[in-house]
Structure 1
Amino acid sequence: MHPLTEKQIRASFVNASRREAAQAALPVLSELDWDRLDYLGWRDRKAPLLAYAVVPGTAPDDGPTGVLLRATDPAGRVRRTGVCAWCEDVVNTEDISLYVARRAGAPGRRGDTVGTLVCTEFACSRNVRRRPTLAETGRDDPDLRAAVIERRIEGLRERSARFVAEVLREV
């Protein structure tokens, strides 16, 4: 993912008011390892029910698209065991949360939402890069491991972009 500025991130939100985007508590951007991120996701440290995800554009000329998410559990106390819909990691299944996003535009103003189960702390980019298990590769082969990781990364990018497309979709 290309490094983003605070201004780019705040301008990317498609389902948030200007005020909501301006009040978002951003992560420390200089501390992020942008080369190892497939999307930028974080929980708002000031408002525990709020979270954000910024997904890069699918075409080279497309800018990033940000979505405001709401956790269904205050302070994230109820964490589910399951598989994240974005990274589909089968090893780290202990910390999954249901996030709901208001749709963009008129559908969102009518109250239409879309939800997804995602890693509570948005660790998807790290999860897809973990060393594959022997069960995932079939044998201990560096080329197979690299292929599995590349397939996971592409899958994460595609599924997170599909979620953003669903937020943007006119119903």
Structure 2
Amino acid sequence: MRALGEQDIRTSFVNCSKGEAKRLPLPRDLEEQPWDDLDFLGWRDLSAPDRSYIVTELHGELMGITLRFPSQQRGFLHRSMCSVCLTTHPGNGVSLMTARKRGQAGRDGNSVGIYVCTDLDCSLYVRGKKLPGSGRRFEESLTVEQQIERTRNKLAAFLDTLAA
């Protein structure tokens, strides 16, 4: 992913108002992001623990979305799998995040959801740059490049449902 600046990020959001996009908090460490290893920029809102954001390129254009997720805690023995990168995590490592749909459907309250790594570090897990809470990912027969492509396709399929 190419490095993004504040203006790029704020103008990319499609499921919130321009005012909301202008006010949302950005990651403090934008300059230090591992851009070459990211398929999308994802971050949690530290001031509102039930909110997260994703910005990525979709069909040649930047697209940002706001996400919400429940704050209920799961037991450490509970394991879940991310639908985007297929990484398993114990406890709260995976959350059902929902995004308001675009346009009138979103204004009418319609949303779509996906199970995703709570820390939104899918790109780093797939590349082996970060280990999940269990300390390892399961082995796959796909190459890392194929896993990266699958991750991108799964995220793109989810983002495409926002417009449907």
Tell me the TM-score range normalised by the shorter chain: 0.7 to 0.9
**Match for residue 161 of structure 2 among 125, 148, 166:** 166
Which letter maps to 1:107?
A
- Aligned partner (choices 110, 125, 136) of residue 140 of structure 2: 136
Percent identity (aligned): 38
SS of aligned partner of 1:154: helix
- State the Cα distance separating 1:135 from its structure 2 match: 4.7
> 1:40-119 to 2 correspondence within 5 Å?
40-58=41-59, 62-73=60-71, 77-78=73-74, 81-89=79-87, 92-94=88-90, 95-119=93-117
CA 1:96 to 1:135, structure 2 compared with 1: closer, same or farther past 3 Å? closer
Q: Given the two structures, how large is their TM-score scaled by the length of structure 2? A: 0.85
Looking at secondary structure, tell me which structure has more strand per residue.
2
Which residues of structure 2 form unaligned runs of 5+? 130-135
Any conservation in 2 of the 1:55–1:160 contact (CA below 8 Å)?
no
Please name the residue that 1:39 is paired with. 40
Per the alignment, residue 148 of structure 1 pairs with: 143
8 Å CA contact 1:84–1:117 kept in 2: the answer is yes
* 2:132 equivalent in structure 1: none
Secondary structure in structure 2 of the residue aligned to 1:16: coil
CA distance change for structure 1 residues 67 and 135 in 2, over 3 Å: closer, same or farther?
Answer: closer
Q: Per-residue deviation at 1:81?
A: 2.2
Cα distance change of structure 1 residues 152 and 108 upon mapping to structure 2, 3 Å threshold: same
Output the CA distance in 2 between the equivalents of 1:40 and 1:46: 18
The runs of at least 4 aligned residues of structure 1 exceeding 6 Å deviation read 131-134
TM-fit CA distance, 1:68:
0.5
Report deviation, 1:134: 8.6
Q: CA shift at 1:78, angstroms?
A: 4.0
Task: Specify every segment of 5 or more residues in structure 1 that has no aligned partner in the other structure, as ranges.
Answer: 138-146
- Which AA in structure 2 matches 1:34? W
Residue 122 of structure 1 aligns with an amino acid whose one-letter code is: L
